[in-house]
Amino acid sequence: MPKPLTLTDPETGHKVDLPVLEPTYGTPVIDITGVPRELGFFTHDPGFMSTSACRSNVTFIDGDEGILLYRGYPIEQLAEKSSFLEVCYLLIHGELPTTSEWEAFQNDIRSRTMVHEGLRTIITGYRRGSHPMAMMVGLVGALSGFYHDALDVNDPVHRMRCIRQLVAKMPTIAADTHKWGAGQPFMHPDNAYGFVENFMRMMFGVPAEPYEADPVAARALELMMILHADHEQNASTSTVRLCGSSGTNPFAAIAAGIATLWGPAHGGANEAVIRMLSGIGSRGDIPRFIDRVKDRESGVRLMGFGHRVYKSYDPRASIIRDACHELLSNLEGTEREQPMFESALELERIARSDDYFIERNLYPNVDFYSGIILSALGFPLNMFTVIFAVARTVGWITQWNEMIGDAEDFRIGRPRQLYLGHARRDYVPTGERS
Ligand code: CMC
């Protein structure tokens, strides 16, 4: 047990001992809950740069070493040996399933893949050109209207049912948003397919034709989903926790997570990377683009680079870069993506030998190469962040469940502020204002 740190108010001489909490791995954490009570101060940490907001057993990231563990298992091993659905089980339950647990889990998920037809009526109210993420925010929130009455968030059995509903239905809802935009009929799930193949069929299949998923493509999508399944307390996960901390239903909390993910600094970056690569033009234009990124005036960022936690290579990015090589050499019809991939490699090479990026520890993150894979798989650009949301739902809902089940720490999230506005003043009637 590390020794507590002592904080002293120099004005009054009052002291408070702050316990130091030792994690399994990573930076120890100072418990500051006694500071307001004992010293009369709040702490100030915009962007939560140095604040741990919860205890968690789910995911660990070592940003300096480029390590990512789900429930203790290295992401590289899960990416190579596991499936997305097995990773879902692992995240939700904390352990890899036994044979019988695995059978039961798959059957349970299969039995929940369909969505209420009322949800599809809601989709048809959206304008055809709506961004699929706009539909996702609305539709997942709308699930509350279908299941809210059977959900007591304090009942672990109810919570588990809802967790499985979300995991099972997200691919169906995501594919529906695409079909509505494409003007094609909604596809019902066909549970004879595997989880990922079923998703591909609902996305790319049509009722008039049989559908067979290309195994190379299906494996690539599976890999992408494994890599995006959880990432500890990022902006969207923290949003889900904060939203869920009020006791609201989990569908509403996940909708809030989807809204947060949409932004270009977060999950929207995969879409932004492809727009950036297309906008750069030829490889010869890359140095000029890099100059614009370094120019503080232009506000241009190298999308898919940099990370709040990783200060070395994001392990997911190196797995995706290798997968990109493999996919583009084994999947037909990827002539459009090949030059894009070469531009991305060249951009990475130039950026990583440039002092601006070296000094700031800016490396490719998960989104730098993921868009190229999704594009090669045939996903339209506006579906990229939706795929991220489908995969991340299991992480969000696992973290929500962990929060609600944490008897010691669970309470409504309610940050404080440093108020710098006007001092108290009196109301002045309209005509008397200067
Ligand atoms: N291009 C150019 N400069 C950058 C970039 C970038 N992509 N990222 C950070 N910097 C610079 C930034 O200008 C700052 O420089 P200075 O210290 O001179 O002011 C320094 O690096 C630190 O950046 P920051 O914005 O303070 O770092 P942050 O931890 O607040 O932001 C980030 C992290 C991911 C939002 C940021 O790196 C970024 O905007 N990257 C591009 C968007 C992106 O790829 N997002 C996906 C993140 S990974 C997937 C996910 O979680 O969804």
Task: Please report, in tens digits, the pLDDT of each residue of the chain (434 residues total).
Answer: 789 999 999 999 999 999 999 999 999 999 999 999 999 999 999 999 999 999 999 999 999 999 999 999 999 999 999 999 999 999 999 999 999 999 999 999 999 999 999 999 999 999 999 999 999 999 999 999 998 888 899 999 999 999 999 999 999 999 999 999 999 999 999 999 999 999 999 999 999 999 999 999 999 999 999 999 999 999 999 999 999 999 999 999 999 999 999 999 999 999 899 999 999 888 889 999 999 999 977 889 999 999 999 999 899 999 999 999 999 998 888 888 898 899 999 999 999 999 999 999 999 999 999 999 999 999 999 999 999 999 999 999 999 999 999 989 999 999 999 999 999 999 999 999 98
Nearest CA, atom 28, ligand 1: 308
305 lines ligand 1 (CB under 6 A): yes
Query: What's the 53 CA to ligand 1 centre distance in angstroms?
Result: 22
Query: What's the 222 CA to ligand 1 centre distance in angstroms?
Result: 27
Q: Which of 223, 163, 60, 174 is nearest to 396 (CA)?
A: 163
Both tokens of 265, joined, read 């600094």
Q: Which of 112, 259, 214 is nearest to 173 (CA)?
A: 112
137 lines ligand 1 (CB under 6 A): no
Pocket test for ligand 1, best of 237, 307, 313 (most atoms within 8 A of CB): 307
C-alpha span between 110 and 28 (Å, rounded): 42
| DSSP per-residue string spanning 86-126 | HHHHHHHHSSPPPHHHHHHHHHHHHTT----HHHHHHHTTS
Ligand 1 nearest-atom number relative to CA 365 = 48
CB of 205 within 8 A of CB of 211? yes
Query: What's the 162 CA to ligand 1 centre distance in angstroms?
Result: 35
213 lines ligand 1 (CB under 6 A): no
Ligand 1 nearest-atom number relative to CA 296 = 13
C-alpha span between 275 and 391 (Å, rounded): 22
C-alpha span between 285 and 53 (Å, rounded): 43
Catalytic residues: 307, 367
Nearest CA, atom 30, ligand 1: 308
